[in-house]
Amino acid sequence: MPQTINVHHVEYDLWHDTLTLFEPFASEPWAMLLDSANAQHPDSRYDILVRQPVQTIRLINNKVICQPPLSSNQPNNLDLFSIIQAALEPLKNSHSELPFSGGALGYLGYDVARALTPELFQQAPEQAENDIPLPDAAIGIYTHALVVDHQAKKSFLVAPASMTKAQAEQFWRAPVSPYSPFKLTSSWVSNLTEEQYYERLERFHGYLHAGECEQINLAQRFTASCTGSNWHAYTKLRSVNGAPFSGFVQLEEGAVLSLSPERFVQVNDHGQVQTKPIKGTRPRHSDPSKDAASAAELLASEKERNENLMIVELLSNDIRQVCKKGSVQAPQLLALESFPAVHHLVSTVVGELEDHYTALDLMRAIFPGGSIAGNPKQRAVEIINELEPHRRSVYCGSLVYFSANGQTDSSVTIRTLCQTGKQLHCWAGGGIVADSKASEEYQETFDKVARILPLL
């Protein structure tokens, strides 16, 4: 049955404090926040809060589990993206002023790739241990949302048409429950020693010299024991990591805390596509002259520039699969963007979807992102599975929404942590190419989490 969704304007002054508005629901399963984190960044504009989905879609060991199940007239062999598309179809909302006006929202973990291309993982020997009990994907279908536009200073309530504006407001009003402060109860421990990291980089260089791959993203994972509120941990991290694609996801199994600076792919209501790969990193410094020198060194680095352009080419080829011929272009290459911990090189690739394709078709075509896999992507995925000791779980996947009005936006879940039970995990990686120096690449992984691990 079609379900109409309405949008209500509410007073920005009363409905703009995202953390205060979300906090009463932060421990509620399937409450999620896509958070621009008040970052001073061109892509920081909207915050999107959701809770109480009408349906949940989880991917566990390549099996899609829907609650409640899809209607009996749906085929049984649909893949994850087809199921999301089917769940979106009953929702009716063409309100294009908002990026999200009800629809699907959640995360796609890196291992969604196992369901999309199982042959990649069947050919390579299974090395990576699967020890994090989070779903490989967790997507809710939401008819309620609170959307805050910080640039235009407007706030909107999304709600079923059966609800009055007052009822829609009441949905987001609740007393705050006390929570225990977050703290670590152990030191951070990596799943790779420095020697093991160097050894794996050397093994990759063997594949590279054999002509099998030009680049891979190699990551290490840090783990610590913890107690207390994961929401408290997120707000603490957010306060010093003003990242435009931040987010918080609460599930029964645990939580995702993301402080991502990187857009994966965006589709607007006219079918225009944008992806913004990050490749190239230098640390920030408190001394202004040292900081400027670090940025200048990044801009001048031939290695970093070549690596970025390699990923631009890969992503361009990926999105061409579903975009109109001749529409894929790179209007901005190798731009410097600075974040609290690091400077990055960021490029922008755009295109226009073919009329018969949707944003879900696009996501299926390009997942996982080339910037966090490698080139060529298929072989890079196999090598990563061989070299990294543990599966990546949420890391290098995506926080994403697919709105009922046709719009989509998503992050690459780098600078991202996940909490399950009394354990907290955080990853850091970087692109490895022919002229990578092991000591520099190893140090870069620590630079990327310099405002995350020490802060907690």
C-alpha separations of 273 from 9, 267, 324, 333, 355 in Å: 28, 5, 11, 16, 13
Query: Quick one: CA dihedral 342, 348, 349, 354, positive or negative?
Result: positive
Count of CB atoms situated within 10 Å of the CB of 332: 12
Closest by CA position to 66, among listed 85, 51, 49:
85
C-alpha to C-alpha distance for 217 and 221, rounded to whole angstroms: 13
Enumerate domains of the chain plus CATH numbers. 3-177+185-448 (3.60.120.10)
C-alpha separations of 81 from 221, 390, 398 in Å: 28, 25, 14
Is residue 390 within 8 A of residue 221, CB to CB? The reply is yes
Residue partners of 210: CB distance under 8 A and separation at least 6: none
Write out the catalytic residue numbers. Answer: 262, 279
Closest by CA position to 53, among listed 64, 67, 65:
67
pLDDT of residue 114: 85
Query: Residues of 300-330 as b/e, b for ≥16 C-beta within 10 angstroms?
Result: ebeebbbbbbbbbebbbebbeebbeeebbeb
Residues of the chain with pLDDT under 70: 1, 39, 72-77, 94, 120-126
C-alpha to C-alpha distance for 250 and 238, rounded to whole angstroms: 16
Six token digits for residue 314: 């890969």
> Counting Cβ atoms within 10 Å, is residue 202 exposed (0-12), middle (13-18) or buried (19+)?
exposed
Backbone angles phi, psi at 227, to 5 degrees: -140, 165
Between CA 313 and CA 393, with CA 202 as vertex, the angle to 5 degrees is: 65
pLDDT of residue 118: 73
The pTM of this model reads: 0.95
133-169 per-position pLDDT tens digit = 999 999 999 999 999 999 999 999 999 999 999 999 9
pLDDT of residue 289: 94
pLDDT of residue 121: 67
